[in-house]
């Protein structure tokens, strides 16, 4: 069903115009089945050139209904219809503008007879309504009045439908209608998601998890999935039936929760998580001469490294930065050959550990400072951050250099030792990925507070 529309306006600045006349013909593809025509008091002045063009003046509109008085009729006659107009973007925009002024969101799919005519009747001298319909033998009376222009547009649409032997117009209308229905479904799903930090799950019709993600604004991120045009987004849109969420209160717990949930559920549309691809670790040791060294190695499970890296380039860059920061020997951090003294020693940027010139105690003290900066600051500690509500805070437990899990406590809860915390912690997997996430996050000083605890008995 089509609602063929034409509006006349006051003219003026963009989005400041008002409608002075509207004509709507409900057309089923064969005949007009309903119609609505009315002058409208725009409650704003009409530009002189518009008066000359349409013949509509302020005196004619003084007793005409205002838009809010005819709005219900416009909604009813266009319900479940495709809005058709000659230059549809203008007429549709004017209707939407008037409804917006009333605090109402007006949404309809549209079809433009200018675009259709250019496709189905090419090489016309002009596609302006008056010239086009005359060239096609379509009668036009009351030019630049809503009713006359709308009637001519109805006849033009009928001619275009006849010429559309492949039924592309109907196919497009049906496709757009399906898309609109899909958008309404997604809009309903998005509205259910709070704009807060957490982990979200997209489910198919059977309830299976097909995608897991995290965000500091879950509503915004979920909406991006439903409006994306990539192949992955379109697949997700096709399969998503429902959305569930879990608030975390802060980004670090969301990151930890996301990587563990992906490993657990293995959703079909999640790629291997980037934090699962942690290939290198930084280990420490002591040379035969008593100097503490650092070196990059291929990471293995169940080994506690000073820190971890996703790739060798990042590992070398990070280690070089901290070697410079703490004046460490490039030979003893594995960045140069161990056969000779390092290149920094000759320019006095290494204090000579590589040639056994520097005192081991002094050198090892700086190495330990570097290790403390790169690793967990303590083998037993709590990372305190924002909770899910204003009177709550989150707790992440590190015990014996292992990630144990997270929980939430009241602001009034007195945190004193590990045993007390163990009762409120949700246990989590102590994975290489979790270690990497926590170390990287803490290194950027994003955590509100760190509490160092006594070792467990």
pLDDT tens string, the chain, 457 residues long: the values are: 899 999 999 998 888 899 999 999 999 888 899 999 999 999 999 999 999 999 999 999 999 999 999 999 999 999 989 899 999 989 999 999 999 999 998 988 888 999 888 888 888 889 999 999 888 888 888 888 999 999 999 999 988 888 777 677 766 665 655 555 556 678 788 888 999 999 999 999 899 999 999 999 999 999 899 888 888 888 998 899 899 999 999 999 999 999 999 988 899 998 765 545 678 888 889 988 899 999 998 888 777 788 888 788 888 988 888 888 888 888 888 888 767 777 777 676 788 888 888 888 999 999 988 888 777 767 788 899 999 998 899 999 988 888 899 999 888 777 766 777 888 888 898 887 888 888 888 877 678 888 887 654 4
Q: Is the pTM of this model over 0.85?
A: no
Query: Residue 39's beta-bridge partner residues?
Result: 21
């Amino acid at each position: 069903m089509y609602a063929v529309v034409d509006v006349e306006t006051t003219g003026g600045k963009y989005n400041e115009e008002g409608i002075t006349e509207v004509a709507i013909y409900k057309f089923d593809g064969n005949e007009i089945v309903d119609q609505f025509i009315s002058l409208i008091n725009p409650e704003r002045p009409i530009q002189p050139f518009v008066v000359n063009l349409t013949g509509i003046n302020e005196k004619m509109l003084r007793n005409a209904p205002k838009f809010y008085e005819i709005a219900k009729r416009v909604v009813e006659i266009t319900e479940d219809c495709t809005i058709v107009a000659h230059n549809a973007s203008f007429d549709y925009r004017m209707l939407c503008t008037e409804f917006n002024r009333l605090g109402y969101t007006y949404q309809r799919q549209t079809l433009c007879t200018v675009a259709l005519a250019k496709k189905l009747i090419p090489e016309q001298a002009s596609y302006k309504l008056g010239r086009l319909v005359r060239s096609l033998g379509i009668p036009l009376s009351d030019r630049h009045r809503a009713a006359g222009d709308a009637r001519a547009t109805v006849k033009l649409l009928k001619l275009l439908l006849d010429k559309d032997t492949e039924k592309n117009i109907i196919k497009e209308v049906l496709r757009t209608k399906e898309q609109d229905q899909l958008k309404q479904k997604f809009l309903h799903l998005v509205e259910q998601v709070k704009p807060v930090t957490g982990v979200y799950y997209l489910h198919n019709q059977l309830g299976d998890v097909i995608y897991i993600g995290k965000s500091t604004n879950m509503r915004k991120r979920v909406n991006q999935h439903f409006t994306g045009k990539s192949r992955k987004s379109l697949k997700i849109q096709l399969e998503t039936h429902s959305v569930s969420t879990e608030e975390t209160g802060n980004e670090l717990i969301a990151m930890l929760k996301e990587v563990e949930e992906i490993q657990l559920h293995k959703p079909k549309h999640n790629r291997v998580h980037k934090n699962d691809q942690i290939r290198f670790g930084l280990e420490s040791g002591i040379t035969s001469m008593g100097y503490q060294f650092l070196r990059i190695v291929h990471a293995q499970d169940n080994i506690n490294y000073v820190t971890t890296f996703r790739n060798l380039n990042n590992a070398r860059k990070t280690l070089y930065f901290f070697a410079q920061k703490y004046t460490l020997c490039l030979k003893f951090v594995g960045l140069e050959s161990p056969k000779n003294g390092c290149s920094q020693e000759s320019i006095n940027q290494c204090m000579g550990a590589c040639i056994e010139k520097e005192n081991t105690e002094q050198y090892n003290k700086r190495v330990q400072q570097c290790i403390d900066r790169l690793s967990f600051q303590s083998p037993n500690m709590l990372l305190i951050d924002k909770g899910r509500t204003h009177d709550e805070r989150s707790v992440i437990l590190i015990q014996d250099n292992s990630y144990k899990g997270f929980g939430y406590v009241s602001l009034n809860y007195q945190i004193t030792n590990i045993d007390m915390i163990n009762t409120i912690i949700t246990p989590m997997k102590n994975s290489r990925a979790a270690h990497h996430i926590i170390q990287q996050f803490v290194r950027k000083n994003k955590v509100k507070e760190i509490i160092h605890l006594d070792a467990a008995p």
